């Protein structure tokens, strides 16, 4: 691979490119400096023309110029040194002291000489004045006839005007060189250049859109008034308001996680460990909240239990009841997050070998004893991990608290208010980083403890039969609970649909279709932009996830662990932090993306990449690598292997990753609320705005429309995945 | 199908893997030197983990050698990717495309080469005919038996007319009867096409019955290369002797070379003759005398090279295996004529005699 000849050829090519690159850079720099300086010079010459010839007019003239050009630093010298009496005047003390100190210096001498010959002169070396560096421009002040210099105007031009552009060109030319070196080096030294390019592109993407913005956000929290300081963190950790938000988040997380785990366990036990009917229906109902758009459950809770709620006001006549706050939030979050706990624990309970329970019963343990001494301990790691999962989800949740928190404070909403309401980006970033800490802690607890304590061994033999551990009253209780909870969930969705057709919820319950017309009219633009951007993001995320999975599973390359970690990072990062870090990182050149549709697409892709990646990796691991080797062996290059073999084989993962991306992009709130613009609006934010303005009818219509879209996409996914089910079977058989 | 085949050369090929746990280098293949002639079927034989599959994968282009060169038909292909080599591999797990039917599996290599449709169809059917699967062209591979899948994999390789056919333990997933059948078939097709073939196996019977030459490997090192009969009858070391068949070793001192290559030696004071000696055996030094069960005979105590007691007789139908306990351990003697008169009852005292022309001296030292 690395033969001498190749290395020499590579170095030669790099050298040639570097020479051309630097030449172009210096030409650019030269011509830019020339034009910018020319402008400045012309301005200064024109000013010098207007300068008074007598000493008396100096100060008023300077004041006048200062007014017209506030940034300009001028020194007016009356008389030419060495020829006549000299008197210097300036409103700028630093410039004046420079003059008195450096009068005799070479650049000053040359400048004075040039001025005496009626020429304009720019000192080649920049001088330091206070904070920055400045270029000195010397221009002659002429007498009335215009043939003799009677004085000199010295102007200090801020060098950073030049340098910032030059820095930009310089870094761009270096990037060009790097791209050339890698783009040329990979096919020279690798026998699989396509893989090399794929790795390069993925690295470029995650470094730019994951590592860089997060770094920017972190950096901002350590900067105060332009220098390194702990001021922001000191404020965050001492301010009562922020601390109460932290406490609120933890309190809410604990409440939601505990409630969700209990409810989820009852559902999971019902589905996995009893012989009661209707399991499919229950499973489908219980998973509904996972895919339903944000604000929809909150909305219907407000419709039912809010200040003008159907139940609280109309039926019960309560006047001082408030759903806003910890209680209401806990209820809504539990409703929307218990399915996570349910799905996790159903998997765990199903994996427990029921012969263990049979053995316990056989050894004369009662059913309750068997449950508490065998089933529960076996399920304990699963229960803990589902608790942690819900806990982190509750902390990261933004949509529900935004509408329902009232005076109760949580971190995610607090950081949003800091950024958009108070324009304190540093504090907002710090608060959302704070949000990351419990998540990371939970993640490590999960890894260190749960993984070690996991008893569940997948035997591969699904045991169809099991002894019914629940006694008859227990079964009745379970059935009643599950049915009631399911009915409640269904009625919540029913409320949203009903909300569409009610004139003014809480006050006037007459039937109307006016809401639909108005909502579709006002939401049309947002709906189109949401669908368009999600539609663009979907195939990008799908392909990136699958390519990433192939690289991670099939290829060996340096930095693989880093790439994997960076690609998976957005999974753990709360949406608010991503949103804040994006507006910090991408509101300046060369990546000025804030306000464009592109930043939303990038945000969708980056946030949904981890799930698709996981799916792709899991599927690919089950596929015999010799299938791909056979394809390559028969003459297919890497691209052909990917297109004709890998993609058809991981089709189920590919489709589900795409539909997942689409749905999640359609229902995003937390990150994109920072990134939307008037041109590129988002439907969920529209729902939020309608709800905030108590236009619940309009909000209901949009929420219903969103639910329909989401369900349709998942239905389509089901059909598409089912078509390739025969594949999965043959793949696993082999 | 036309005949076309090329030689394959391995020059000092070494493959080093890095053990991620111990952080040390492991030699999968060490300085392998091999010349495979055109149209030859060569077997790489060795215990699992000896580097034979790694060697095959380097020839196929799936692994890069750490050092050394690989030439196919004289051309240096060391760094060429698999798709740029004139090799085709039959994988141990077949690697059939589960999303394509039999016909499309076989046609795959022609499709990526953009062979015209009509020609493709004829060639695919021709290849399927060769392996006797023409009528199953539209089956999904998941619905074929193991032997049929194996044939599809073979047809898929043959259809692209490779210059070298690589087979990685192709029969290990089949049952014994099918294995024997496929072995004969592979050899028949290979001979008919005159294609150069490299065959990896850990089964010595497979290696012996298939190959023109056998390459015996151990721990990444090629120990001996030769036709099956040479490998069996005239191995160069104890490892090769033991790996390709049942064998007994007797420690001897080499006395003198005699006419026609026979060597006189002393086994615990008794003078015995060996028909040949391996490189590395020197007169005056110690050596091992290797004897296969069929080159040993039983005699009365004191008559032969060493004495012992019959421990067990195992009746095999065409022969009897007689285990004799001696001071050199339990020695297996094969009695080809299992008539009652030639058998010694268990517990009787016997002596063992060598068939001088068939016993061989092997160097002492490492296995």
pLDDT tens for B295-349 read 888 888 877 788 888 888 888 888 888 899 888 888 898 888 777 666 788 888 8
> What's the CA gap between B273 and B277, in Å, rounded?
11
Is the separation of the CB atoms in B121 and B108 below 8 Å?
Answer: no
Residue A128 in domain: yes
- One domain for residues A548 and A458: no
Residue of B nearest to A727 (CA): B99
Q: pLDDT tens-digit profile of A297-319?
A: 888 888 888 877 777 777 777 77
pLDDT band, residue A214 (cuts 50/70/90): very high
What value of ipTM does the predicted structure carry?
A: 0.82
Residue B124 is predicted with a pLDDT of: 93
Is the separation of the CB atoms in B15 and B78 below 8 Å?
Answer: no
pLDDT band, residue B90 (cuts 50/70/90): very high
For the segment B4-24, the average pLDDT, to the nearest whole number, is 86
**Chain B residues bordering chain A (beta-carbon distance below 8 Å):** 60-62, 64, 79-83, 85, 87-89, 91-99, 108-109, 112-113, 140-142, 153, 156-157, 160
For the segment A694-706, the average pLDDT, to the nearest whole number, is 87
Q: Which site among B98, B139, B153 would you substitute to test the A interface, given the most A Cβ atoms closer than 10 Å to its Cβ? A: B98
Q: Considering only A461-465, A549-553, A626-630, which range has the smallest mean pLDDT?
A: A461-465
Q: What is the distance, to the nearest Å, from the Cα of residue A667 to the centroid of all Cα atoms in its chain?
A: 15
For the segment A127-152, the average pLDDT, to the nearest whole number, is 79
> Rounded to a whole number, what is the distance in angstroms from the first to the last CA of chain B?
45
pLDDT > 70? residue A32: yes
- One domain for residues A261 and A354: yes
Interface contact flag, A626 B61, Cβ < 8 Å = no
For the segment A611-628, the average pLDDT, to the nearest whole number, is 89
The count of C-alpha atoms lying within 13 angstroms of the C-alpha of B232, restricted to the half-sphere facing its C-beta, is: 16
The count of C-alpha atoms lying within 13 angstroms of the C-alpha of A618, restricted to the half-sphere facing its C-beta, is: 12
Q: Please state, in angstroms and as integers, the Cα–Cα distance from residue A283 to each residue in A270, A390, A499, following that order.
A: 10, 18, 26
**Counted domains in chain A:** 3
- One domain for residues A536 and A668: yes
- One domain for residues A367 and A231: yes
Most confident of A334-343, A535-544, B1-10: A535-544
Is the separation of the CB atoms in A628 and A642 below 8 Å?
Answer: no
Q: Identify the residue with better confidence: A459 or A478.
A: A478
Is the separation of the CB atoms in A254 and A388 below 8 Å?
Answer: no
> What's the CA gap between A54 and B95, in Å, rounded?
96
> What's the CA gap between A589 and A591, in Å, rounded?
5
Pairing of β B25-36 and β B75-76: unpaired
Closest CB from B93, B140, B157 relative to A626: B93
Interface contact flag, B87 A635, Cβ < 8 Å = no
Distance from CA of A731 to the nearest CA of B (A): 6
What integer best gives the mean pLDDT of chain B? 87
Residue B366 is predicted with a pLDDT of: 61
- One domain for residues A548 and A631: yes
SS3 (DSSP) at A521: helix
Residue of A nearest to B92 (CA): A626
Interface contact flag, A636 B141, Cβ < 8 Å = no
Is the separation of the CB atoms in A257 and A439 below 8 Å?
Answer: no
- One domain for residues A108 and A252: no
CATH code: domain of residue A437: 1.10.3720.10
For the segment A478-501, the average pLDDT, to the nearest whole number, is 87
Closest CB from B82, B88, B99 relative to A727: B99
Closest CB from B79, B80, B82 relative to A629: B82
pLDDT > 50? residue A459: no
Apex CA A329: angle with CA A327 and CA A334, to 5°? 100
pLDDT > 50? residue A734: no
Closest CB from B64, B89, B97 relative to A645: B97
Domain that holds residue A265: 221-275+323-476
Distance from CA of B82 to the nearest CA of A (A): 5
Residue A725 is predicted with a pLDDT of: 53
Q: Identify the residue with better confidence: A722 or A219.
A: A219
Distance from CA of A166 to the nearest CA of B (A): 44
What's the CATH fold of domain B8-233? Answer: Rossmann fold (3.40.50)
Q: Architecture of B246-363 per CATH?
A: Beta Barrel (2.40)
Q: Identify the residue with better confidence: A149 or A494.
A: A494
For the segment A460-477, the average pLDDT, to the nearest whole number, is 67
Residue A643 in domain: yes
Domain residue ranges of chain B, discontinuous segments joined by +: 8-233, 246-363
What integer best gives the mean pLDDT of chain A? 83
Is the separation of the CB atoms in A531 and A705 below 8 Å?
Answer: no
Q: Considering only A21-35, A612-626, A710-724, B172-186, which range has the smallest mean pLDDT?
A: A710-724
Residue of B nearest to A190 (CA): B79
Residue A707 in domain: no
- One domain for residues A542 and A690: yes
- One domain for residues A550 and A605: yes
Residue B4 is predicted with a pLDDT of: 67
What 8-state DSSP symbol labels residue A203?
H
pLDDT > 60? residue B211: yes
Q: pLDDT tens-digit profile of A158-185?
A: 777 677 778 888 888 888 888 888 888 8
Is the separation of the CB atoms in A687 and A695 below 8 Å?
Answer: no
Residue A110 is predicted with a pLDDT of: 82
- One domain for residues A547 and A632: yes
Is the separation of the CB atoms in B352 and B305 below 8 Å?
Answer: yes
Residue B164 is predicted with a pLDDT of: 92
Provide, as residue numbers in chain A, all residues whose Cβ is less than 8 Å from the Cβ of B89: 629-630, 633
pLDDT > 90? residue A364: no
**Chain A residues bordering chain B (beta-carbon distance below 8 Å):** 1, 191-192, 624, 626-637, 640, 644-645, 648-649, 726-727, 729-731, 733-734
Q: pLDDT tens-digit profile of B22-63?
A: 888 888 999 999 999 999 999 999 998 888 999 999 999 998
- One domain for residues A156 and A227: no
Most confident of A51-60, B131-140, B207-216: B207-216
pLDDT band, residue A273 (cuts 50/70/90): confident
Closest CB from A626, A637, A731 relative to B98: A731
pLDDT > 90? residue B119: yes
- One domain for residues A259 and A343: yes
Interface contact flag, B108 A636, Cβ < 8 Å = yes
Apex CA A408: angle with CA A406 and CA A411, to 5°? 115
Instruction: Please state, as a whole number, how many other Cβ atoms lie within 10 Å of the Cβ of residue B137.
Output: 18
Q: Identify the residue with better confidence: A453 or B213.
A: B213
A497: its two tokens: 């649909």
Question: Last residue of some domain: A448, A476, A504?
Answer: A476
Interface contact flag, B91 A191, Cβ < 8 Å = no
DSSP letters for B190-231? HHHHT-EEEEEES-HHHHHHH-SEEEEEETTEEEEEE-HHHH
- One domain for residues A557 and A442: no
């Amino acid at each position: 691979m690395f033969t001498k000849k190749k290395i020499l050829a590579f170095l030669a090519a790099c050298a040639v490119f570097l020479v051309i690159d630097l030449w172009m850079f210096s030409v650019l720099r030269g011509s830019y400096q020339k034009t910018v300086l020319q402008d400045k010079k012309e301005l200064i010459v024109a000013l010098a023309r207007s300068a008074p010839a007598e000493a008396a007019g100096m100060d008023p003239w300077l004041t006048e110029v200062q007014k017209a050009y506030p940034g300009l630093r001028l020194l007016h010298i009356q008389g030419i040194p060495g020829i006549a009496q000299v008197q210097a005047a300036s409103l700028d003390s630093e410039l004046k002291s420079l003059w008195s100190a450096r009068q005799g210096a070479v650049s000053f001498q040359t400048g004075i000489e040039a001025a005496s010959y009626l020429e304009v002169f720019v000192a080649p070396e920049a001088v330091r004045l206070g904070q920055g560096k400045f270029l000195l421009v010397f221009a002659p002040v002429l007498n009335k006839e215009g043939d003799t210099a009677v004085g000199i105007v010295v102007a200090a031009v801020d060098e950073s005007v030049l340098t910032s552009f030059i820095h930009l060109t310089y870094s761009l030319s270096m990037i060009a060189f790097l791209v050339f070196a890698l783009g040329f080096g990979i096919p020279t030294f690798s026998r699989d250049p396509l893989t090399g390019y794929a790795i390069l592109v993925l690295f470029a993407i995650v470094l730019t859109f994951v590592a860089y913005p997060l770094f920017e956000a972190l950096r901002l929290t350590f900067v105060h008034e332009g220098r390194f300081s702990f001021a922001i963190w000191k404020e965050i950790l001492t301010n009562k308001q922020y601390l109460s938000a932290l406490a609120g988040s933890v309190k809410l997380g604990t409440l939601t996680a505990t409630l969700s785990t209990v409810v989820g366990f009852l559902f999971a036990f019902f589905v996995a460990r009893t012989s009661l009917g209707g399991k499919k229906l229950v499973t489908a109902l219980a998973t509904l909240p996972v895919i339903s758009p944000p604000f929809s459950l909150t909305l219907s809770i407000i419709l039912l239990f809010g200040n003008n709620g159907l139940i609280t006001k109309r039926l019960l006549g309560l006047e001082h009841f408030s759903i806003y706050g910890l209680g209401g939030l806990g209820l809504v979050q539990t409703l929307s997050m218990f399915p996570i706990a349910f799905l996790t624990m159903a998997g765990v309970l199903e994996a427990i070998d029921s012969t263990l329970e049979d053995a316990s019963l056989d050894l004369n343990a009662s059913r309750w004893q068997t449950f508490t001494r065998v089933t529960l301990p076996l399920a304990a790691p699963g229960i803990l991990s589902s608790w942690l999962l819900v806990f982190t989800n509750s902390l990261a949740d933004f949509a529900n608290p935004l509408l329902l928190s009232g005076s109760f404070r949580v971190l995610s909403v607090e950081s949003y208010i800091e950024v958009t309401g108070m324009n304190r980006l540093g504090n907002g970033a710090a608060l959302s980083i704070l949000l990351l800490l419990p998540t990371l802690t939970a993640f490590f607890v999960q890894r260190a403890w749960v993984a070690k304590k996991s008893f569940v061994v997948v035997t591969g033999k699904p045991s169809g039969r099991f002894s019914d551990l629940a006694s008859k009253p227990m079964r009745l209780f379970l059935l009643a609970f599950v049915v009631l909870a399911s009915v409640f969930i269904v009625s919540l969705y029913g409320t949203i649909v009903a909300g569409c057709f009610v004139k003014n919820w809480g006050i006037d319950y007459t039937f109307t279709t006016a809401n639909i017309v108005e909502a579709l009219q006002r939401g049309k633009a947002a709906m189109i932009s949401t669908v368009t951007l999600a539609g663009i993001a979907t195939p990008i995320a799908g392909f990136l996830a699958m390519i990433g999975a192939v690289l991670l599973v099939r290829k060996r390359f340096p930095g693989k662990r880093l790439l994997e970690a960076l690609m998976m990072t957005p999974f753990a990062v709360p949406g608010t932090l991503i949103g804040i870090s994006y507006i910090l990182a991408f509101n300046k050149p060369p990546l000025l993306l804030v306000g464009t549709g592109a930043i939303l697409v990038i945000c969708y892709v980056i946030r949904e990449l981890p799930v698709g990646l996981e799916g792709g990796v899991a599927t690919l691991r089950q596929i015999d690598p010799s299938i791909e080797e056979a394809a390559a062996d028969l003459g297919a290059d890497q691209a052909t292997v990917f297109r004709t073999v890998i993609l058809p084989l991981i089709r189920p993962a590919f489709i589900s990753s795409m539909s997942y991306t689409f749905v999640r992009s359609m229902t995003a709130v937390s990150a994109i609320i920072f990134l939307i613009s008037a041109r590129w609006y988002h439907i969920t934010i529209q729902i939020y705005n309608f709800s905030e303005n108590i236009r619940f009818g309009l909000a209901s219509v949009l929420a219903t429309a969103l639910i329909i879209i989401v369900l349709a996409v998942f239905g389509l996914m089901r059909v598409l995945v089912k078509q390739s089910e025969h594949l999965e079977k043959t793949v696993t058989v082999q | 199908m036309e005949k076309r085949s090329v030689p394959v050369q391995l020059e000092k090929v070494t493959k080093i893997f890095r053990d991620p746990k111990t952080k040390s280098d492991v030699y999968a293949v060490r300085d392998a030197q091999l010349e495979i002639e055109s149209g030859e079927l060569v077997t790489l034989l060795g215990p699992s983990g000896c580097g034979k599959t790694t060697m095959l994968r380097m020839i196929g282009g799936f692994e890069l050698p750490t050092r050394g060169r690989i030439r196919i038909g004289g051309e240096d292909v060391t760094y060429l990717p698999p798709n740029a080599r004139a090799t085709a591999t039959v994988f141990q797990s077949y690697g059939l495309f589960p999303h394509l039917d039999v016909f499309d599996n076989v046609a795959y290599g022609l499709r990526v080469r953009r062979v015209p449709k009509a020609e493709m169809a004829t060639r695919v059917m021709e290849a399927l005919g060769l392996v006797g699967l023409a009528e199953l062209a539209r089956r999904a591979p998941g619905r074929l038996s193991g032997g049929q899948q194996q044939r599809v994999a073979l047809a898929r390789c043959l259809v692209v007319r490779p210059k070298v056919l690589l087979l990685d333990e192709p029969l290990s997933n089949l049952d014994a009867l099918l294995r024997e059948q496929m072995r004969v078939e592979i050899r028949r097709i290979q001979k008919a096409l005159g294609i150069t073939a490299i065959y990896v196996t850990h089964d010595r019977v497979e290696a012996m019955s298939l190959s023109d030459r056998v390459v015996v490997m151990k721990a990444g090192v090629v120990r001996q290369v030769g036709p099956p009969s040479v490998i069996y009858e005239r191995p160069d070391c104890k490892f090769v002797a033991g790996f390709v068949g049942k064998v007994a070793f007797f420690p001897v001192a080499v006395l003198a070379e005699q006419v026609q290559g026979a060597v006189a030696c002393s086994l615990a004071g008794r003078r015995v003759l060996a028909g040949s000696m391996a490189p590395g055996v020197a007169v005056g030094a110690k050596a091992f005398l290797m004897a296969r069960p069929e080159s040993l005979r039983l005699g009365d105590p004191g008559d032969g090279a060493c004495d012992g007691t019959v421990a067990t007789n195992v009746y095999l139908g065409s022969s009897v295996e007689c285990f004799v306990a001696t001071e050199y351990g339990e020695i297996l003697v094969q009695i080809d004529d299992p008539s009652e008169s030639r058998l010694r009852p268990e517990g009787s005292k016997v002596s063992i005699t060598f068939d001088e022309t068939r016993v061989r001296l092997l160097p002492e030292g490492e296995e």
